[in-house]
Amino acid sequence: MSKTSDFSPEVLALHAEALERLERGHLVVIPTETVYGLAADAGSDKAVAAIFALKDRPAFNPLIAHFYDQEQLSAYVHISPLAQRLLDAFTPGPLTLVLDKKAGAPLSELVTAGLSTLAVRLPHHPVARSLLKNLGRPLAAPSANPSQTLSPTQAQHVREAFKEADQVPFILEGGPCQEGLESTILDARHAVPVLLRPGSLPVETIEAVLKLEVQRMGEEVSMQDAPIRSPGQLKRHYAPQTPLHLDITHPSLGDAYLGFGPTSFKGEAFCQLSASRDLQEAGMNFFAMLRHLDSFGKKRLCVAPIPLEGLGLAINDRLKRASTEKDLA
């Protein structure tokens, strides 16, 4: 897929520097197809601890480990028959699987926050793949934003988010993220896949390819398939400063408005997720537009109704979480 020769000498020099930093146990921001990640050598306690410190992330919230390929992955987790099908069908790509960790896997305990499971992902962004291949070890990487703020889909977002504290980490540029929403997370330990977080890979696509129903959280499941929770899903996340108002079709002129499809809104603070109501386009624009509208400092940030299907499920999940009162965090 990603041949090293695809990159210019200047870019290759930056890759080499990133690699060296990771090998020394330092943090590097990497592009992935979903959002930018704040990456560290998953085997190093010191490096992984630095992720939690920089993000101000609670230590009980585990991280996703990113791998180059299935061979590398198989040393760290037990690959269930369901996981094997999912890996073959959808990876590399925007899918994260929660699986049982293998005893003795060379992994910092901080990555899993003490759980016996590990969330794993094989990203397909060529820069991430090149780095993972050359490092030869997995990278622990949450989204590269301070805890409880909007996820970054451009390198510039990362710079802005960390510059106040004068703590901007080394960033590998990779252009705007093509998917724009975080990966879909499934508990794939048993026969029935359980959705822990809707994301860039639509559940309907998974169901169509696997010819299997994906269990949504909150639905009844058998004891054997009892889902574990994604600790990060319990909290307010992805939040802008401006109070969010959802499902608004007629905002006031003074509001900030995030549209989806045709609208007669004439206010100054306006962004269009997708004029043609294309959810893929909306997903890619989502975080950057929320961020932009937030910067107007209006009293309300209104959002048009977005259908609860395909990528709309992930978009609505982020919106709901972002509009939750702060003290739920």
Q: Within 94-113, which residues bind ligand TXA (CB under 6 A)?
A: 96, 98, 112
* Residue 282 found at the interface with ligand TXA (CB under 6 A): no
* Residue 143 found at the interface with Mg ion (CB under 5 A): yes
Binding window for ligand TXA (CB under 6 A); candidates: 10-18, 182-190, 253-261, 293-301: 182-190
Q: How far apart are CA 322 and CA 199, in angstroms?
A: 15
* Residue 117 found at the interface with ligand TXA (CB under 6 A): yes
- Please answer whether residues 96 and 121 qualify as being in contact, where contact means their C-beta atoms are separated by less than 8 angstroms: yes
Q: Within 230-269, which residues bind ligand TXA (CB under 6 A)?
A: 230-233
Q: How far apart are CA 56 and CA 38, in angstroms?
A: 12
Minimum gap (Å) between residue 199 Cβ and Mg ion: 11
Q: Which of 21, 32, 171, 198 binds ligand TXA (CB under 6 A)?
A: 32
- Peptide bond just before 92 cis, omega within 30 deg: yes
Binding window for ligand TXA (CB under 6 A); candidates: 14-22, 30-38, 245-253, 285-293: 30-38
Binding window for ligand TXA (CB under 6 A); candidates: 1-9, 137-145, 267-275, 305-313: 137-145
* 252 token code pair: 């006031």
What is the β-pairing status of strands 184-187 and 95-100? parallel
Residue nearest to Mg ion (CB): 143
* Residue 141 found at the interface with ligand TXA (CB under 6 A): yes
Greatest alpha-carbon pair distance for the chain in Å reads 60
- Please answer whether residues 153 and 125 qualify as being in contact, where contact means their C-beta atoms are separated by less than 8 angstroms: no
DSSP string, 136-199: -S-EE--BSS-TTSPPPSSHHHHHHHHHTTT-PPEE----S-SS-SPPEEEE-SSSS-EEEE--
Candidates 81, 60, 73, 137; CA nearest to 101 is: 73
Nearer Cβ to Mg ion (143/184)? 143
Q: How far apart are CA 328 and CA 221, in angstroms?
A: 26
Nearer Cβ to ligand TXA (154/272)? 154
* Residue 149 found at the interface with Mg ion (CB under 5 A): no
* Residue 150 found at the interface with ligand TXA (CB under 6 A): no
Q: Which of 63, 194, 269, 301 binds ligand TXA (CB under 6 A)?
A: 63
Binding site for ligand TXA (CB under 6 A): 32, 34-35, 37, 61-64, 96, 98, 112, 115, 117-119, 121, 141-143, 182-183, 185, 196-197, 228, 230-233
